[in-house]
Structure 1
Amino acid sequence: MSDLSRFDGVFTALITPFTASGEIDWNAFDALIDRQLAAGITGLVPVGTTGEAATLSSAEAEAVIAHTVERAKGKAYILAGTGSNSTEKTVAATRRATDLGVDGVLLVTPYYNKPSQQGLINHFSAVADATTADVVLYSVPGRAGVEIAPATAGTLAQRHLNVVAIKEAGGDPARVTDLRTAAPGLAVHCGDDGLALAFYALGACGLTSVFSNYDPEICVALYNAWNAGDRTRALDIHEALRDIADAMFIENSPAPVKYIMSSRGLNGTAVRMPLAEVSEPARNMLDQHMVEFKTRREGLAFA
């Protein structure tokens, strides 16, 4: 079995900051990357779902990937989102990302057309054959409408040496056991911040986080506490961040995380249509969660 330790730890599913006029805010993006690196984040995920990949042009997506590689290559694992609901487009985007120097590509299940499991095997196989980079499968049925069956993940891992990991974002920790049984060669990443501790306990090696855009230190601290065997501290951290992490999906992501980041002056709140900025009721709830989170965080004795 190959060494998959490169997936151990926390990856950040990077937002794409926008200016008020709708352009990519490169200064905010650089500051975001630098904060992640300073906090000890293991991996960076540009142009994933959280990066609003579906509404970036191909040129913008390539620019974001190239910028991330230039700023962080060798300092963090670079995992670019290149998946779509078109196999041809996914292959093309994957080849471009590979040429730009990414370490791996994150491939969401094709959305809207909802392929069968055989269709998923055909799709992911075609992409895996088109790249020398690591291939990370991404199962998120709440957005894509179809999940990757554990047996399908196992088949893909057996057929393709570069299919090495899966991001599991279906909200069910039991899937970790199913995946580890059916696809023992795959690294499993949790795709839901609020479930990270449960996933770690069941054998997941890492987390791909939305909340770490805002607070990478606490997400790394949770992983490190678990990894060091400090179950009490891991549980304390989990309980401190669970509510605010879950609130990142109070409305469609990444609008909530962009809102709380704006409260710290880290970026603006702008998202690309058809997404909308969080509503006033959601802002009020997020503000309350933030007050509670700050109080709980202070009690954790961070340096």
Structure 2
Amino acid sequence: MTRFAGVYVAIVTPFTEEMEVDYGCLREHADWLIENGVHGLIPMGTVGEYATLDDAEREKVVETIIEAVAGRVPVVVGTGSPSTKKAVHWAEHAKKAGASGIMALPPINYNPTRHEIIEFYQTLSNVGLPIIAYNNPFDTKVDLKPDLLAELCKIENFVAIKEFSGDIRRIHEIYEKTDLEVLAGADDLALEGLLAGATGWIAGFTNSYPKESVDLFALATSGKVAEATELYRRLLPLFRYDSTPRLVQSIKYSLKLVGKPVGKARAPRLDLTEEEKSNIEQVSKLI
């Protein structure tokens, strides 16, 4: 069953010059993305800087987006947290607020055993929302490999995987061993992931180029490979920043370049260097 088909945006959290959450800008940004055809929004992912928000801010960001969306597209909420208890809290809050699902990193603050990973997702499943597991072995100590996913997919609400390992071969193996829905997780492997059978794409730079991203998805999934490849190659020099540690700053700077400023990233992320900004400006001109 396909639940999360299409382009889902890992939406940024805008900040004012005083580095407070800009909820008005957040509403406007959500509207703009939907107007440009995106299929869903995901607050509180890596791009949303969830780890820098206090609990009250995090709750209000989720509630603001769900209110602004008003049912037009699904909202899937990130639950990344240092403890199972806290992850469950964010899943329960998402359910209460009206989210369509959750995107759940595995335990993030140490190297858990296989049994602990399974128990973690089982506990989240008990909340009762569909789960998109987020496989990001670069930022966590866990790699959700196909053999492990074959066990996890037995959990009732464990329905999809955001695959960010960088190994495109895994998509085929996941489909061989599980009944999970696979979502492309890296912008610079989006086309490859879609052509390998991913039914959706959880995207970062779609924040600044929503129409182009939606067009890419439509071309790729309708068999227009040559046209998709031509568009993808224009986007790819920018998309490559999605797989770097500076992705949040790069996406926010890209938004400034397209006339949709959302402020800077919160510390510990520091502003881009002048050289980095110049490089992003140059590759943006290719689009």
| TM-score normalised over the length of structure 2 | 0.96
RMSD: 1.4
> Which structure 2 segments of 5+ residues have no match?
none
Which residue number in structure 2 is paired with residue 177 of structure 1?
A: 172
Q: What is the CA-CA distance between 1:245 and the residue it aligns to?
A: 0.6
Do 1:84 and 1:107's aligned partners in 2 also have CA atoms closer than 8 Å?
no
Question: 2 CA distance for matches of 1:215 and 1:150?
Answer: 32
Aligned ranges for residues 1-303 of structure 1 at < 5 Å? 3-4=1-2, 6-129=3-126, 131-160=127-156, 162-183=157-178, 185-291=179-285, 293-294=286-287
Which residue number in structure 2 is paired with residue 301 of structure 1?
A: none
Question: 1 CA distance for matches of 2:111 and 2:277?
Answer: 33
Query: Which amino acid in structure 2 is aligned with residue 24 of structure 1?
Result: V
- After superposition, give the CA deviation of every residue in 1:179-219 in whole Å (9 maximum; x if it has no partner): 11221x21100111111111111111010000100001111
Query: Which amino acid in structure 2 is aligned with residue 172 of structure 1?
Result: D
Question: 2 CA distance for matches of 1:97 and 1:147?
Answer: 25
Question: 2 CA distance for matches of 1:102 and 1:76?
Answer: 10
State the 4+ residue runs in structure 1 displaced beyond 4 angstroms: none
Question: 1 CA distance for matches of 2:231 and 2:70?
Answer: 30
SS at match of 2:247: coil
Q: What is the CA-CA distance between 1:10 and the residue it aligns to?
A: 0.4
Which residue number in structure 2 is paired with residue 298 of structure 1?
A: none
SS at match of 1:207: strand
Q: What is the CA-CA distance between 1:249 and the residue it aligns to?
A: 4.5
Do 2:186 and 2:243's aligned partners in 1 also have CA atoms closer than 8 Å?
no
Q: What is the CA-CA distance between 1:269 and the residue it aligns to?
A: 3.6
Question: 2 CA distance for matches of 1:110 and 1:217?
Answer: 34
Query: Which amino acid in structure 2 is aligned with residue 51 of structure 1?
Result: G
SS at match of 1:141: coil
Question: 1 CA distance for matches of 2:112 and 2:253?
Answer: 34
Q: What is the CA-CA distance between 1:263 and the residue it aligns to?
A: 2.0
Q: What is the CA-CA distance between 1:132 and the residue it aligns to?
A: 1.6
Do 2:183 and 2:201's aligned partners in 1 also have CA atoms closer than 8 Å?
yes
Query: Which amino acid in structure 1 is aligned with residue 54 of structure 2?
Result: S
Question: 2 CA distance for matches of 1:97 and 1:250?
Answer: 29
Q: What is the CA-CA distance between 1:277 and the residue it aligns to?
A: 1.4
Query: Which amino acid in structure 2 is aligned with residue 257 of structure 1?
Result: I
> Which structure 1 segments of 5+ residues have no match?
295-303
Do 1:28 and 1:266's aligned partners in 2 also have CA atoms closer than 8 Å?
no
Question: 1 CA distance for matches of 2:67 and 2:166?
Answer: 34
Deviates more, 1:247-256 or 1:143-152: 247-256
Query: Which amino acid in structure 2 is aligned with residue 66 of structure 1?
Result: E
Question: 1 CA distance for matches of 2:6 and 2:50?
Answer: 24
Q: What is the CA-CA distance between 1:225 and the residue it aligns to?
A: 0.5
Query: Which amino acid in structure 1 is aligned with residue 78 of structure 2?
Result: G
Tell me the matched-pair count. 287
